Amino acid sequence: MFDRLEITVLPPGPRFSAQLRFWVNGEDVVQQAVGPGGHGPLAVEALPVGLPNQLRATAEARRVQLGEPECTGGCCGFLSMVVQRTGNVVQWSDWQVPRLEVRPLEFDFDASEYDAEVARAEADFGWRFSA
């Protein structure tokens, strides 16, 4: 059975511009792994217009930053994982978490569903015009 990914964009707030959140099987991975007050990557950096984003899964494994605690990643560390495609599976594994936080599980996504969710997030331009 595959895990299910949903990418959401939180609107800009007083401290941060629009940011991404990653829901896997209905749970906010960023909130659980970076603690209260933490945040996901800034949407403008994670979903660059006209350029491939780091969430796109390929056969080449690469580390992707998904969040940081309120005190900043430079202080306590970032939330990151390795994304890689193997056949019809996209895997998130080898998690690194901020100090003292809980490491998420390894996730396996159906590659076609994963690609569709990433493409949907890339095509959602509504957050780019809210400020």
pLDDT higher than threshold 80 for residue 113: yes
State whether residue 64 is helix, strand or coil: strand
Under 8 Å between Cβ of 33 and 26? no
117: enclosing H helix or E strand: helix 111-123
pLDDT higher than threshold 90 for residue 85: yes
Assigned token pair, 32: 């659980």
pLDDT tens-place string over residues 41-71: 888 888 887 777 889 999 999 999 998 877 6
3-state helix, strand, coil in the chain (%, to 5): 25, 35, 45
Choose between 83 and 51: higher pLDDT: 83
Angle value at C-alpha 45, between 40 and 48, nearest 5 degrees: 130
Choose between 17 and 84: higher pLDDT: 84
Whole-structure pTM value: 0.87
Band (pLDDT 50/70/90 cuts) for residue 128 is: low
Residue 26's identity, in one-letter code, is G
Choose between 26 and 67: higher pLDDT: 26
Choose between 50 and 117: higher pLDDT: 117
pLDDT higher than threshold 80 for residue 125: no
pLDDT higher than threshold 70 for residue 126: no
